Amino acid sequence: MNTPLWFSLWSFPAPYVGNESAYVDEKHMICTQSFTTQVDAIRNEVLSYLMKHETIPYFKQSMVQQGKGYHTRSLAWWGIQFHKNQRELPVLSSILKNHPELLTLSINVLDPNSSILPHMGDTNAIYRGHFGISIPASLPQAGIRVSEAEQSWQEGRFIWFMDAYTHETWNHTKEARIVLLVDVLRPEFSNQKKRICATVITSLFLQKRIEKSSFFERNQRWIVKYIAPMLIPLVQFRIAWINFIRKY
């Protein structure tokens, strides 16, 4: 039975109801080995990069407890390529080039005593992975909950999960938690890659405007219904143009 393609854009605030498991065994994810066999080189590359560069607060800080504590640096984000960062992270860049199914690859830092509040992802078209770089503690001090199931991160290992389900993360320690966030396109949706990326970015764009504007918040329903379908093809073209001119 084929899994219907789902986007939070069209169903928010209703949660995703699917039949997938909350977590996916890493052995079923083709790209896993590319990371685990190069774990030392990846860790050294990431930590060296973070010593020279500041991370950027996640664009939607309302998702973070007390509005702060979650920072990122992207190599790829929903199909947009960040060439400058890729040049400085050659090991990770080579993995991106060898795995076109990777839609997103970013360095994610969760500060000490910080939490990301329960939220649902934007689509069921991907599986999301957290690859442990620096993990200060295991459960109950630090971990992730997807649906009702909790797991601890491990350095040099992945946690793969269905991002569309409601999930949350926390780091109740005195050290930062650092992971690589990886979004992998599910094979059954591979022929819809461009549409998926454009729809998710449109969704994130509107979420940000709704968060910042009372007008957008009051008129959310009709904006999504009438404006989003017109934005999606424009965003798809914008992604292609950004990558062509190597803007980032």
| Stretch among 62-76, 91-105, 157-171, 187-201 having the lowest mean pLDDT | 62-76
Q: What is the pLDDT of residues 170-206, one digit of tens each?
A: 999 999 999 999 999 999 999 999 999 999 999 998 8
CATH for the stretch 16-189: 2.60.120.330
Q: What is the pLDDT of residue 98?
A: 96
Question: Residue 125: pLDDT band by 50, 70, 90 thresholds?
Answer: very high
Q: Is the pLDDT of residue 246 over 80?
A: yes
- d(C-alpha 66, C-alpha 116), whole Å: 10
Domain spans in the chain, listed from the N-terminal domain onward: 16-189, 191-245
Q: Is the pLDDT of residue 95 over 90?
A: yes
Q: What is the CB neighbour count within 10 angstroms for residue 223? A: 17
The residue among 133 and 212 whose pLDDT is bigger is: 133
